Each structure stands twice: as structure tokens, then as C-alpha cells.
Amino acid sequence: MKSLLFAAIVAVSLSSCSDDDDDVPAPPVAVDLRTKIDYAKVTPTTPYKALFIDAKGDTTVDLSSGNNRYRMFQALNYYLGAAVRDSATLDAAVMKNMFANTSNAFVDVPSLKIVGATLNSSGVQLKDKTASSKTAAEITAANTYLETSFAAHAEASKSVKKAASKGVAGKSGTYLLDAKGIEHAQIIQKGLIGALQLDYISNVLLVKGLEADNKTLVSGQKYTALEHNWDEAYGLLTLNPVYLAGSTDAVRGTSESFLGSYIWEYNKASYAKIHPAFVKGRAAIVNNDATELKTQATFIRTEMERAIAQAAVGYLGKWKTSTTDAARAHAMGEGLGFIYSLRYASINGADAAFSDAILVGLVGSANGFWDLTPDKINAASDAIKAKFKL
């Protein structure tokens, strides 16, 4: 009897196991989308798109979203310059609309190959990627900081025909200053280098963005989400197929603006390595090589931060070596903008408290720029050098 019972249990058990196996779905097979790329094909002059094609020979690179934001930054900067270039009175509402891509704010700028209608209908904007790695409170603070500077620059533009002096807004040399001697065009430009370019490229696209799917194509597109994140980072840095092609320490080989320009100017040790790092990282995505991808991303992020920190220190030094108020004010405008941007240097552990303490120490007094002293400049420079190990 016991033998019969045991046999029945075994039979039921075997039957159950067989049914369970039928119910378990087969695990998905991870299939690489692309043919692997030999890293030896990546050279300092390999155009960014050259190696990345699908089985049909079509490019898998789409730089449009990054390039459109780059063009928007150019267009906003061009508008800021109208105060001095054209003695124009500026409108802060126009700047806010350009920042958020609302109300068809962009117009054609032929000298920069900017087509207003393309940007107005692009579906992207600067504002939603500004400080986007940060908390909601920090994002609000960053937007407020920039929009307050829009208003200050517009207000100063009303005085463009006056001479700037302590307590009086106006022009000093070719630079427009507010009553405290602050050049808001530089605050906005350098502030966006940090809050938009450094933060979105370095702290979003090359960190969280690397976790994106790389096994399936984005619906209706020829690229994966991971491929597109990397392309967006490159497209926001430069418009050129080879970033800084032909550059030497003395001559910048391509037309670059904003972060792309200052990497060349203030990171002579590594600027030539940035382009191949971007191409090799893109090849690593094709190869599903997470280790190589992270290596290239970390290198790019580190060298971007070094460039901004060295720019901040460099402009503080120019305040000391300049011989006119105009040159000192311009150096300080650029320096203040870069110091603001240090808060986005996350690899070096900088944050808003570090950045703000330096800004307050420099221009937190009643007369701002006009109250600067060598001791204030030295204290700021020493703090940055210590933090970034310069």
C-alpha cells in the first residue's frame, strides 16, 4: 500500500513539474543591434557620425535636439549683445520667451546661421534642461537667478548711453554694467554654461542617461535611447563634426562657443582628448561595453569641470592684472558667471553653498564690483584652487 502511495505522489509531482516548466516563459535573448566597432578605428579626427550606421547603412546619430538647444543659447546670447552692439533697449520678456521657447521668440540671425522658425517649432527649450539634475527647489532658484539677470540686463540697457561709475548703470568701455558694476550679459552666458551645458551633459546625460535602453530602437527612429542620450550631449557641446579639429594650444581650429570654447581656452592639457572620448564612448555603446562607456563619460565630465574651475580662477587673475575699470569689470563679469557655474561641478563635490559663499565674499557688499579688493580676489581664488586641486 505504501509503495502505491509513494508512486502516486511521485507521478503527481512529476506531472506538476512538467506543467510548471510549460508556464515559465523563455528568458529574452539579448541580441546586439549593431556590429561591434574596433576601437582602433577611433582617431582624433574621426567625424562624430562616421562610424555609427545601421545594417542598411543609415546613420544612427541624430544631433538635432542638442544642436537646437545650442542654437537657442546662441540666439539668446546674440540678443543680449544688442544692448551694446546696437544701443538697443532690451526687453526681459523676450529673454524669458527665448529661455522657455514660447511666443515664437526666435528670429533669423544669418551671421550665426540661426533660423528662427526652426527653433520656434523644434519642441525643445533651454529652461526645462537648466539645473535639471537638481532638486525642485534648486531648479526654481536657478531659473529665478537667470530671469532676475534678464531683468537686470534689460534695465541696464536703458542706460547704455551713460558712463558707468559707482552707483550708476551704464557703459564702461564696450561693456554694459548695472549700478553695482555687474555685467549681466556675462552672468547669463557663463551661468548657462554651468546650469545648462555642464549640468545637463555631465550630471544628467552622462550619468542617469547611461542607464537608458540600448537593446531596442526608439519608436520611429534609427537609434536607441542610450545612443540618443550620448548624441544629445555631443550636440549640446558643439555644432562641428570634429570638435576642435586642427586646434593647437595657440589657435582654436573650429568655431566654438560657450563651454566648447572654454574647454580649449582653460584646459590645455586635455582639450584635444575630448572629441575622441566622445567618439569612443559612442563606440562603446554600440559594443555594449559599459566599462569603457563609463571611463569615457567620467573623463569628459572631469575635464569639463576642470575647464570651468580654471576659467573662474583665470578671470579672477585678470581682475588683478587689468589696467582699466572696463577691463576689470568685464573680467569680473565672466569670473562671477563661472563661479556661479561651479555649483554644478559634482565630481569635485562643489555645490550651491560653496559657490554662493564665494560670490557673496566678492560682490556681496553695497557697491559690488566697485568694492572689490585684492584680498577678496585672493580669497576666492584660493578657495577654488583648493576645492578643485588646481
Region of poorest pLDDT, from 25-39, 202-216, 250-264: 25-39
| Averaged pLDDT, 87-107 | 98
pLDDT of 19 strictly over 50? no
3-state helix, strand, coil in the chain (%, to 5): 60, 5, 35
pLDDT of 203 strictly over 60? yes
pTM for the model = 0.91
Q: Please, where are the H alpha helices in 109-258?
A: 116-120, 136-157, 184-192, 225-237
d(CA 32, CA 166): 64
pLDDT digits (tens, 9 = 90+) for 40-54: 999 999 999 999 999
Q: Which band of pLDDT confidence, cut at 50, 70 and 90, is reported for residue 33?
A: confident
Please calculate the CA angle 243-244-250 and round it to the nearest 5 degrees. 170
DSSP 53: B
Q: What is the average pLDDT value for the chain, to the nearest integer?
A: 93
pLDDT of 14 strictly over 80? no
Asked whether the beta carbons of 307 and 259 are under 8 A apart, the reply is: yes
pLDDT digits (tens, 9 = 90+) for 65-90: 999 999 999 999 999 999 999 999 99
pLDDT of 12 strictly over 50? no
pLDDT digits (tens, 9 = 90+) for 293-306: 999 999 999 999 99
| Averaged pLDDT, 211-221 | 96
pLDDT at residue number 26: 47
pLDDT of 2 strictly over 90? no
Closest CA to 188 of 55, 108, 96: 96
Q: Which band of pLDDT confidence, cut at 50, 70 and 90, is reported for residue 9?
A: very low
pLDDT digits (tens, 9 = 90+) for 317-371: 999 999 999 999 999 999 999 999 999 999 999 999 999 999 999 999 999 999 9
d(CA 135, CA 162): 41
| Averaged pLDDT, 379-387 | 98
Closest CA to 196 of 340, 91, 90: 340
Q: Which helix (H) or strand (E) holds 359?
A: helix 352-363
pLDDT at residue number 100: 98
Cβ neighbors of 292 (< 8 A, separation 6 or more) are: 39, 280, 281, 284
pLDDT of 31 strictly over 70? no
Closest CA to 258 of 162, 338, 331, 378: 338
d(CA 194, CA 202): 10
d(CA 229, CA 208): 10
Unique residue bearing C-alpha cell 537638481? 134
